Amino acid sequence: MSDQMEQVLSEALEAIRSAETPDALNEVRIHFLGKKGSIQALMSLMKDLPKEEKPAFGQRVNTLKAEVSEKLEARREELSALAQTAKMANEKIDITLAGTKLEIGTTHPLIMIQNELEELFVGMGYKIAEGPEVEADYYNFELANIPQDHPARDMQDTFYIDPNTLLRTHTTAMQMRELEKAKGQLPIKLICPGKVYRRDDDDATHSHQFMQCEGLVVGEHITLADLKGTLEYMANAMFGEGRKVRFRPSYFPFTEPSVEVDVSCPFCNGKGCSVCKGSGWIEILGAGMVHPHVLEMNGFDSEKCSGFAFGVGLERVAMLKYGIDDIRNFYLNDLRFLKMFDRFD
């Protein structure tokens, strides 16, 4: 009998030692300690023993059981420590290896100009308005005092989607939406930056897609002097202190009077250089007093209020500010060009 116990013990110890995984070890546990396992089988031999031998036998089987349980537990810990070490070895990071450099993008120069303008005008209490790039003829032309067959439609070669729908040719379309939305309520003070489209042959100074930022102020007693002061403030903020602004008469159907606005050349301080072609002035935008008819069409009483509007081309500003000589650079997505702007970010 004692031999049989010795045998079970040595088999169990051997099986425990050679179990290489937690699963294998569990099998061993079931085989020896399970309900139908070898140790339980030993217990069942007890019923055939003489009464006086039973306690001693039972005790020995229990000791055997305890020893096997203990060895199983020790092996379980050993296996889990081994697994942990293997995992660590596997996941080891060689911190001396050169890493992969993450490429970080830069803000697009046109967005930089847009951000700058937004910050500037929000600082003066302007709202920022938005509108669709696919626009109704009504907002792009009709409400802007450019009815069908008006010759001014030729000023802006238009991409039509259908006879009533087009790609907006100027941010003035958003200005009209905002005027209509205000339903005659004063004051209005907003800018609307965005992309605009015109049929054009792309070259160094023309692009069929470009960006504008429109400004619109409507209230009581708004004058051309307010427009000039505002644009002078903008020119100084965008091109550096000391800029002067000059108005030249012009024509836009939605403003009266209309002006072209020049800023004193930031490169030569107005003395005349190759950038300003010797004139000392650089044209940067179109502007004017909102046409009374436009105010009336949108439900404003033009006797009681007036307004100014201006539209600035963001490419033009960026080209001057950063010395870029070809407008196509903005749309080619050449990383060598775009990456130059990280220092302004």
* Least CB distance to ligand PHE at residue 170 (A): 3
Long-range interactions of 23-28: CB distance < 8 A, separation 24+: 25/72, 25/75, 25/76, 25/79, 28/72
Query: Are 276 and 282 in contact, with CB atoms under 8 Å apart?
Result: yes
How far, in whole angstroms, is CA 180 from its chain's centroid? 31
CB 256 within 8 A of CB 296: no
Please identify, using beta-carbon distances, which residue of 12 and 113 lies nearer to ligand PHE. 113
Identify which of residues 32 and 141 has a Cβ nearer to ligand PHE in the complex: 141
Distance CA 155, CA 48 (A): 116
Instruction: For the CB of residue 255, give the shortest distance to ligand PHE in the complex, in Å.
Output: 5
CB closer to ligand PHE out of 126 and 252? 252
Closest residue to bound ligand PHE by CB: 311
The site for ligand PHE (CB under 6 A) is made up of: 170, 172, 214, 252, 255, 286-288, 309-311
| CB of 12 or CB of 314, closer to ligand PHE | 314
H or E element at residue 33: helix 22-33
- Structure tokens, 17: 């030692």
Nearer to ligand PHE, 72 or 287 (CB): 287
Token pair recorded at residue 67: 């020893």
Shortest distance in whole angstroms from residue 259 CB to ligand PHE: 8
Smallest distance, Å, CB 212 to ligand PHE?
6
- CA 194 vs. chain centroid, Å, equals 17
CA triplet 201, 207, 209: central angle to 5 degrees? 120
Nearest to ligand PHE of 42, 213 (CB atom): 213
The distance of closest approach from Cβ of residue 340 to ligand PHE in the complex, given in angstroms and rounded to an integer, is 28
Distance in angstroms (rounded) separating the CA atoms of residues 157 and 155: 6
Smallest separation, CB 345 to ligand PHE (Å): 29
